[in-house]
């Protein structure tokens, strides 16, 4: 059974969005169940990243509706969406996009600091992620002193430290070699399953999508569901 409307945590209904004269989404529908890892696949330029940005409240569709936890998201003000993103969502992008002036530890602590958690506690909670993400001893490094795989794991820690309800990951392994990318996906999927975090994972790589519970494909701005529930082997 694919995610139905009644049990969806994140949902888009008939959304349209164009960039200038170019339509990116043309009536896209998608429903993401709480706690599932959903891979959004599709060719380059199909609209999959735009869809993720709409679901995450970064972009607002021109038509259609976005719902999160039963609440209309696309009609919220920019400020309200910003608060929602900060408090309930986590993000990982293709390139870690760490703040270069901050240490790895401070980068991971950032979402907590932005939420008003005291610095000492934020850094302590950030530190807990270092062992788990195999980043021991790298707390004080800055982004320029980290390998691509290390930087992406720091970005993953930053995305998960505040225990978001939804993790939006846009090509999180796109800049990594195959083995490093798989390690990042292993850590991401394990952490998400442990915490019950819902994950929307945009990827064009089947090996990355294989860590998800199910996948949809975006084609010409519309979404096609491919498979049913994960089969435990």
75 lines the binding site for another protein (CB under 8 A): no
Interface of this chain with another protein, residues 39 to 68, rule: CB under 8 A = 43
CB-wise, 119 or 207, nearer to another protein?
207
Interface of this chain with another protein, residues 173 to 192, rule: CB under 8 A = 186
Quickly count helices (H) and strands (E) in the chain.
7, 10
Within 8 A by CB and 6+ apart from 124, the residues are: none
89 lines the binding site for another protein (CB under 8 A): no
198: phi then psi, degrees, rounded to nearest 5: -80, 140
Segment interacting with another protein, rule: CB under 8 A, options 1-9, 132-140, 157-165, 224-232: 224-232
24: phi then psi, degrees, rounded to nearest 5: -100, -45
CB-wise, 37 or 123, nearer to another protein?
37
N-terminal to C-terminal alpha carbon distance within the chain: 18
The distance of closest approach from Cβ of residue 65 to another protein in the complex, given in angstroms and rounded to an integer, is 26
Segment interacting with another protein, rule: CB under 8 A, options 125-133, 137-145, 169-177, 222-230: 222-230
209 lines the binding site for another protein (CB under 8 A): yes
**Pairwise CA distance, residues 91 & 114, whole Å:** 15
**Pairwise CA distance, residues 50 & 46, whole Å:** 9
224 lines the binding site for another protein (CB under 8 A): yes
Closest to 7 (Cα-Cα) out of 192, 198, 223: 198
* Beta strands, E only, the chain: 8-19, 22-33, 37-41, 63-68, 71-72, 89-92, 166-170, 198-202, 214-219, 222-225
Among residues 183, 195, 217, 220, the one that binds another protein under rule CB under 8 A:
217
Q: How crowded is the C-beta side of 95, counted as CA atoms within 13 Å?
A: 5
Segment interacting with another protein, rule: CB under 8 A, options 8-16, 85-93, 133-141, 203-211: 203-211
Among residues 211, 218, 221, 222, the one that binds another protein under rule CB under 8 A:
211
CB-wise, 1 or 233, nearer to another protein?
233
- Contact residues for another protein (CB under 8 A)? 43, 186, 206-207, 209-212, 215, 217, 224, 226-227, 230-233
């Amino acid at each position: 059974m694919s995610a139905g409307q009644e049990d969806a945590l994140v949902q888009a209904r008939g959304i349209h969005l164009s960039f200038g004269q170019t339509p990116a989404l043309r009536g896209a529908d998608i429903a993401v169940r709480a706690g599932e890892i959903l891979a959004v696949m599709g060719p380059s330029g199909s609209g999959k990243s735009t869809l993720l940005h709409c679901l995450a409240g970064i972009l607002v569709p021109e038509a259609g509706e976005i719902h999160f936890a039963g609440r209309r998201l696309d009609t919220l003000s920019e400020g309200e969406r910003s608060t929602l993103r900060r408090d309930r969502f986590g993000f990982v992008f293709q390139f870690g996009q760490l703040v270069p002036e901050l240490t790895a530890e401070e980068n991971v602590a950032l979402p907590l600091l932005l939420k008003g958690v005291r610095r000492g506690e934020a850094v302590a909670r950030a530190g807990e992620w270092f062992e788990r993400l195999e980043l021991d001893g790298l707390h004080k490094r800055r982004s320029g002193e980290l390998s691509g795989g290390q930087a992406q794991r720091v970005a993953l820690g930053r995305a998960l430290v505040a225990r978001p309800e939804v993790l939006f990951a846009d090509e999180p392994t796109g800049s990594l070699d195959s083995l490093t990318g798989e390690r990042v996906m292993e850590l991401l999927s394990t952490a998400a399953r442990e915490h019950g975090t819902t994950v929307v994972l945009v990827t064009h790589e089947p090996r990355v999508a294989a860590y998800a519970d199910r996948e949809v494909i975006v084609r010409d701005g519309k979404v096609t569901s491919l498979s049913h529930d994960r089969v435990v082997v």
